[in-house]
Amino acid sequence: MSTSLKLAADDDTNPPGRRPARLTRAEKAEATRQRLFDAAVQTVGESGYAAASIAAITARAKVAQGTFYNYFESRQDLLDQLLPSISRRLHALVRQRVLEAPDDAIEREKARLSGFFEFLEKEPHLFKILSEGTVQAPRGFRMHLEMQSASYRRALEYERLRGNLLIDDPVEMDMLTQMLISTREYLSGRFCFEDGQYVRPSAGVVETYVKLLQGKIFK
């Protein structure tokens, strides 16, 4: 065999007939944990927190009940992790849409709302997990609110530093943050779901939201 052919053979990481590399113990453990987590998201999203027993979650994940405690301290520990995890994915998608938007304050805010609707379309379970979270997973719900508030507050500070806001007072900035977050979540509940199923909101929802931001509602 020539040197070049020998090197090519040595570099072939997936030759025909070779079995895929086995997962390490750590990779198997993470895969099991993720199955449990995904099963909890699906169960809560479909039937609510009350239906998310350890038995239901492990059955859906095809994992023995005793294995559950290798990954989570309790049922409540798992449920409290749902919203923060979803919150991180939401932040990543919205941030990407904002980066893709034109360099304009209103366009960035449109991207935040549109990105939120897009995320709900991909992960509709968020709505039920969020709506019941205040009672069923208060710790996770608080973490979610803190994460979303901090993210939105940073976005508004970015606009303030560039002279794109008419308010400058830190207290008003905090109140505005909560108003915008609340508006986003209310609009999703009103226009993104019918009979428990996600529906894409009309473009008019975002456009009317923009009119509100621009002060084009009252004469």
Question: What are the tens digits of pLDDT across the range 117-148?
Answer: 999 999 888 888 988 999 999 999 999 999 99
Which CATH architecture describes the domain 75-213?
Orthogonal Bundle (1.10)
Fold for the domain defined by 22-72: Arc Repressor Mutant, subunit A (1.10.10)
**Hey, do 22-72 and 75-213 end up sharing a CATH topology, with the first three levels equal?**
no
Q: Enter the pTM of the model.
A: 0.80
Please state, in angstroms and rounded to a whole number, the distance separating the CA atoms of residues 53 and 75: 7
In angstroms, the Cα distances linking 198 to 114, 127, 188 are: 14, 10, 9
**Tokens 């938007």, located at residue:** 101
**Per-domain residue ranges of the chain:** 22-72, 75-213
> CB–CB of 75/53 below 8 Å?
yes
Question: pLDDT tens digits, residue range 164-198?
Answer: 999 999 999 999 999 999 999 899 989 998 887 88
Q: Identify the band that residue 209 occupies on the pLDDT scale cut at 50, 70 and 90.
A: very high
